[in-house]
Amino acid sequence: MPKYVVVGAGATGSATARLLAESGAQVRLVTRRGSGPSHPRVERVAADATDTARLVEIATGAAAVFNCAMPAYDRWPTDFPPLAAAVLAAAERTGADYVMLGNTYGYGPLDGPATPDLPLAPTSEKGRVRARMWQDALAAHAAGRVRVTEVRASDYLGAGAYSPFTLMVGAQVLAGVPASYPGDLDAPHSWSYTVDVARTLVAAAGHGDAWGRSWHAPSTSDLPVRELAVRLAEAAGVPAPQLGRMSPAELREIGRADSVMAELPEMLYLYDRPNLLDASATEKAFGILPTALDVVVAEMAAERPDTAGPTHSTASPGPSRG
């Protein structure tokens, strides 16, 4: 019976653990508090993911280690590098393959669809953090110390997903209150369904040609925010969305009191223009097709709150918290 380790129990990490367990594998799911889904083949382990020695104990005998963890969005420069280094070191020392969950921050602003063979050219601090994590892992791969691959996703959709849309638009649409979004409401945008990302992670771990390169998760939709909000409202049977565009000044003002929202201005290039992800290589290599948007919005609509919530959230809007 194969054994795997998944670090991080957000929506994507939990979905990855469930998929592996449902395939018959034994899974150790590592979080600081030992949280995660309940499944007879998922062992929830409370551990500090920056503790390399502890991770080596946990990962010994594992076929692969999946890094789906993410620190607080406003602490990436300080907290992400030691976490990534510890998970990479644990994979190296145990002989496990290393599968990373990444995002598109490392590409920087683009004029066309992102393809996984693009050079990394980050223009943001968080993009530089993400790029360095991949470059460090790729260097270890090139040196023959470990096999690595990375699956990159765009902004997340799905039950329990965290992204600017789910936090700043989706929750408000479901609650029937106005929403304000810090980007172009009519720009095409790729959306990643958490379960599709998990399927891609699992497929990459089991494919002989996956190593030493990155892959894009298939997108469930490329709809602009305005149209996506309408689809969500229709699925939930709630009134039509009341959407407005948040100005940079308004975003800065919110950021004065909210350390996470203060991180968004440097990432606005992802939301003020078309932002599309080309996953054709993934679909061809792994045979993974995206889940239909109707299925995804129905899942999100089932999370409809009983009462209206705030018009913005202090929870991290980073796509990597899917």
Instruction: Give SS3 for 122.
Output: coil
Cβ neighbours around 28 below 10 Å, total: 21
Which pair of tokens denotes residue 206?
């089991």
Tokens of 282: 């993934």
Work out the pLDDT band at 307, boundaries 50, 70, 90. Answer: very low
**CA-CA distance, 121 to 40, in Å (whole number)?**
43
Instruction: Confirm if 198 and 205 have CB atoms less than 8 A apart.
Output: no
265-269, 291-295, 296-300, 318-322: which range is least confident on average? Answer: 318-322
Query: 155-191+220-321, what's its fold?
Result: UDP-galactose 4-epimerase; domain 1 (3.90.25)
At residue 306, the pLDDT reads: 54
- Fold of the 3-154+193-216 domain: Rossmann fold (3.40.50)
CATH 3.40.50.720 placement within the chain: 3-154+193-216
- Residue 8 CA to residue 70 CA, distance in Å, equals 7
Rounded distance, CA 105 to CA 274, Å? 15
What sign does the dihedral 66-48-102-9 (CA atoms) show?
positive
pTM value?
0.94
- CATH 3.90.25 intervals, the chain: 155-191+220-321
The SS3 of residue 24 is coil
> What's the pLDDT at 102?
98
